Chains A and B, each alone.
Chain A
Amino acid sequence: MTDVLIVVALLLVAGAATAAVLNRDPVRQALVLSFLGLTLALLFTFLQAPDVALSQLAVGSAVTPLMILLTVRKVRRRPGSGGDGADKPAGRER
C-alpha cells in the first residue's frame, strides 16, 4: 500500500514539475511551484522523512513562490514608473 502512495505522489511531482516548466507566465509558475512543494512534502513523508518534508514545506511551498512574486512585482513596476504608466496596472493584474 505504501508503494501505491509513493507511486501516486511521484506521478504528481512529475506532473507538477512538467506543468511548471510548460507555463510561461512567472506568476502562474509561482502557483504551480507551490503545488510542487506540497506534493514533494507529501512524497518525503511517504518515504518516512518527515523532517525533510517540514523544511520542504517551508521552502518550497511558501518562500520560493513568495520570492518569485515579489521579484515579478518589482521588475514589472520599474518600466511602468519610467514609461507611460500603462504598465503599472499590468504589474498588479496577475
Chain B
Amino acid sequence: MSTSDGWLAAALVPLLALVPVLWRIAYGSPKDRLIGQNLTSLLAGLVLLLAARGFHRTSYNDVALVVSVLGPTGTLIYARFLDVLPDSRLVRWTALAGVPATVLPLCVATGPGRAMVKLLLIGALLIAGSVVTSGRGGKGGVTA
C-alpha cells in the first residue's frame, strides 16, 4: 500500500461518517437536520483535503476552499429560514479535533510553501465556520 493509498484510505473515514449524517438529515427534527447540514460541509471539506493529497493534485484544494466558505454560509441561510440555530457540541468537537488532525499531517507532508499556507487557511476557515454556526455564543435556541 503506497502513501497515496494511505491518504485515500484516510479520506474514507470522514466519507463513511457521512452515512449516519444522511440518516439524520432524512429523518431528524429540523434542529437535527440543520446540525446535519453543518456537519456535512465540514466532513466534505476534510474528505476533499485528504483526497487532493491522495491524488497528488494540489489544485483540488480549491474545491475544499469553496466548501469551507459555502458550508457555513448555507447553514446560516437555513438557520434564517428554519428559525433555529442549534448549538451543537458534536459539530464543535468534530471541528476542533478533526480539522487539526487532518490539516497538520497534510502540512507536514506538503512542506513549507504556498500550498501549506493555503492548507492552513482552509483549516482555519473550516474551524471558524463550524464554531460560529455551532457556538453557544449564538442564541443557543431560537433566533430571529
Q: B26 touching A2 by the CB < 8 A rule?
A: no
Give Cα distance in the complex from A79 to B21, angstroms.
Answer: 35
* Contacts known (A1-B5, A57-B70, A94-B82); A31 close to B15, Cβ less than 8 A: no
Assuming the A-B contacts A1-B8, A50-B57, A73-B81, are A57 and B66 also in contact, with contact meaning beta carbons closer than 8 angstroms in the complex? yes
Q: How many residues of A contact B (CB 8 A)?
A: 39
Q: CB-defined interface of B58-95 with A at 8 Å, one 1/0 digit per residue? A: 01101100110010011001100111000000000000
> Is B63's CB under 8 angstroms from A12's CB?
no
Chain B residues bordering chain A, tally (CB within 8 A): 44
Tell me if B44 and A1 are in contact (CB < 8 A). no
Chain A residues engaging chain B, CB cutoff 8 angstroms: 1-2, 4-5, 8-9, 12, 15-16, 19, 22-23, 27-28, 31-32, 34-35, 38-39, 41-42, 45-46, 48, 50, 53-54, 57-58, 61-62, 65-66, 69, 73, 92-94
* Chain B interface residues toward A at CB < 8 A: 1, 4-5, 8-9, 11-12, 15-16, 18-19, 21-22, 25-26, 30, 33-34, 36-37, 40-41, 44, 47-48, 51-52, 54-55, 57, 59-60, 62-63, 66-67, 70, 73-74, 77-78, 81-83
The contact sample of 19 A-B pairs, CB cut-off 8 A, is A4-B12, A12-B19, A27-B82, A31-B25, A31-B34, A31-B37, A32-B26, A35-B21, A42-B15, A42-B44, A45-B51, A46-B51, A50-B59, A54-B63, A58-B66, A65-B74, A65-B78, A69-B81, A93-B83
